[in-house]
Chains A and B, each alone.
Chain A
């Protein structure tokens, strides 16, 4: 699907470098590609095998937890030293194995890899349950999970374990935020999430140490949207609404505007019809509880703009789901929603026409 592709033949890059009088660098690149460059095993194999190991560890977790229970090594119903010790030993073992694997970086150590997953999942789960039993406080338990995730983030450098731990922490955060019904928490969380995504997107190449945070944050944004739409857009069915719904729309639209300027401005494409039309659509949808749809379109644009196919794909897949949700939302009547969508669609098509004309004009 060319829509998702964001790549160019190496020969085209080399030719362009020659054309722009960068001969030594073009030759250097050519030589490197001919002699040393080996394309990373592209496709799904590395991802699939890692996922398989994580899946295996999750399956083993069930039997392992029962085993620990049968051996009287854990008792999750009350705080006790033996369970804490068991959790601590497993968690520590996971960190030691994880560090060893990071140093060795060798194939054939998959048994250790899956074992470290298992120990990490089990240890972290046990310690968090114990923290909850000790403090009997949801936010402190989340803090315990987050701290353990933070330590394991640098200790066990496996992107899947990092992804899983962070995802659990973020899902937990949103559940607690909704439970507490605190506007400041929900809107503050959304603002931070949006800001973090934008900052990381434009600084990604410099943030290799924390780049595994990026996709959990994107998924957390989508999750928060589903929650926020219900909390603000659905609950208040008239235009005056609750102040939270207005702030939420402003947050979404501000993010979109900043993102568009970040992506288009970099290319000196101000005046581009994509930019103008998208901003108009954003304003239109923002006024009528459709700002989240604009953010999802924004993820697609951002994905292409920074050359991140995964982000582009996440946005492209999320769009129909949220459009479907928009159909059932109760904030405005279907008739009004149909007008906004038709108006938005027409604007985008006008934008397509203008882009086509602009392209023809500039060759």
Chain B
């Protein structure tokens, strides 16, 4: 990419104009190119469409919410089913790949979930709430595949995450380490979701190439992995089950290690590496705290913890900056 192919923001152009001492007229021309009348019209149109639709639909939701208690059971079903069918029909008639088609299928997915929730409320099936989320996720998968929309993929992942948490919470609440299971299964699911996203992006599927679809499951998997370790660390303090603690530590570092290898060697991404580094720092420092907590000398332990935290964080930041500089210089 030559420098003239670069895209400049308003702020970047203002800085360059200052440096080159460009005239007021030239600055005005530059600003016009960045967000002048033409772009302003286009942006205004999108802004008014987006927020107009949002306010209008919110108004409709508020209206039904107000009248909900007065509606009969069949009227409630009719409203939701109508919403579902109108959304699917709209998607059917709108050209494939258009944003409106994707949004229509997303709203069909939402209507499906609300319909199932209302069905459960009216007929009191006695089913656990995890079944609602699980069935919603499974039945809605077709719509997700059809929509080819990153936002809907994320929504689907959230539904399955909720299904996992409620499933373990409701079916295995009697187990002392049920939280450990929740963290571990969330780690595995989000890790697998990330792997599917990476494979799909590699295969060129546009809906899976959105950058945040990489970071959100990555952060979720890392948060679950850190929680697994920290949970087992404290659990081992109480039940003296060291194997549990070692498994937690091993799992946390295995997840971080695999992620690091992938985002460093295969698909370079400094932001993902930063998240991984942060997770590694939290795990490592928690490990240090556990190691020194049992020592008799409190002053030495606190001093050591302070120094280790400061040193490890600054070392990792230096390493990240070096990796990035090296990578940029190599390109």
A interface vs B, CB < 8 Å? 2-3, 6-14, 16-17, 20, 22, 25, 28-30, 32-34, 37, 39-41, 43-45, 48-49, 52-53, 55-57, 59-60, 63-64, 66-67, 70-71, 107-108, 110-111, 113-115, 118, 205, 267, 269, 272-274, 277, 297, 300-301, 304-309, 319, 323, 327, 333-335, 337-349, 351-352, 355-356, 358-359, 362
Q: A13-B8, A115-B310, A359-B41 are in contact. List 16 more A-B contacts (CB 8 A).
A: A3-B50, A17-B29, A60-B305, A107-B318, A110-B313, A113-B314, A269-B40, A274-B48, A301-B47, A305-B35, A334-B62, A334-B65, A338-B62, A342-B60, A344-B55, A346-B52
Name the A residues within 8 Å of B302 (CB-CB): 63-64, 66-67, 70
CB of B35 to closest CB in A, whole Å: 6
Contact of A13 among B33, B47, B317 (CB under 8 A): B33
A-B contact pairs, 30 of them (CB 8 A): A3-B50, A6-B35, A7-B9, A10-B6, A10-B8, A11-B4, A34-B3, A37-B6, A52-B281, A52-B317, A60-B306, A63-B306, A63-B309, A67-B299, A70-B299, A107-B321, A110-B315, A110-B318, A113-B314, A277-B48, A300-B51, A304-B35, A319-B51, A335-B62, A345-B51, A345-B53, A348-B52, A352-B45, A355-B44, A355-B48
Asked if B26 lies at the interface with its beta carbon under 8 angstroms from chain A, I say yes
- Asked whether, in the complex, the Cβ of B45 is within 8 Å of the Cβ of A356, the reply is yes
- Separation of A184 and B19 alpha carbons in the complex (Å): 45
Contact of B321 among A45, A277, A308, A349 (CB under 8 A): A45
Closest to A297 in B: B51
Closest to B322 in A: A107
Contact of A307 among B34, B45, B278 (CB under 8 A): B34
B interface vs A, CB < 8 Å? 2-14, 16, 19-20, 22-23, 25-26, 29-30, 32-37, 39-63, 65-67, 270-271, 274, 277-278, 281, 285, 298-299, 302-303, 305-306, 309-318, 320-321, 324, 328
- Asked whether, in the complex, the Cβ of A6 is within 8 Å of the Cβ of B9, the reply is yes
- Asked whether, in the complex, the Cβ of B56 is within 8 Å of the Cβ of A29, the reply is no
- Separation of A347 and B59 alpha carbons in the complex (Å): 13
Name the B residues within 8 Å of A33 (CB-CB): 3-4, 6, 16
Name the A residues within 8 Å of B303 (CB-CB): 67
- Separation of A284 and B281 alpha carbons in the complex (Å): 51
Name the B residues within 8 Å of A52 (CB-CB): 274, 277-278, 281, 313, 316-317
- Asked whether, in the complex, the Cβ of A16 is within 8 Å of the Cβ of B3, the reply is no
Name the B residues within 8 Å of A272 (CB-CB): 44
- Separation of A337 and B60 alpha carbons in the complex (Å): 10
- Asked whether, in the complex, the Cβ of A53 is within 8 Å of the Cβ of B48, the reply is no
Summed over the interface, the residue pairs from A and B with CB atoms below 8 Å come to a total of 270
CB of A289 to closest CB in B, whole Å: 14
Contact of A45 among B26, B62, B270 (CB under 8 A): B270
- Asked whether, in the complex, the Cβ of B7 is within 8 Å of the Cβ of A9, the reply is yes
Contact of A14 among B4, B43, B61 (CB under 8 A): B4
Name the B residues within 8 Å of A7 (CB-CB): 7-10, 12, 34
- Asked whether, in the complex, the Cβ of B49 is within 8 Å of the Cβ of A349, the reply is yes
- Asked whether, in the complex, the Cβ of B59 is within 8 Å of the Cβ of A64, the reply is no
Name the A residues within 8 Å of B318 (CB-CB): 107-108, 110
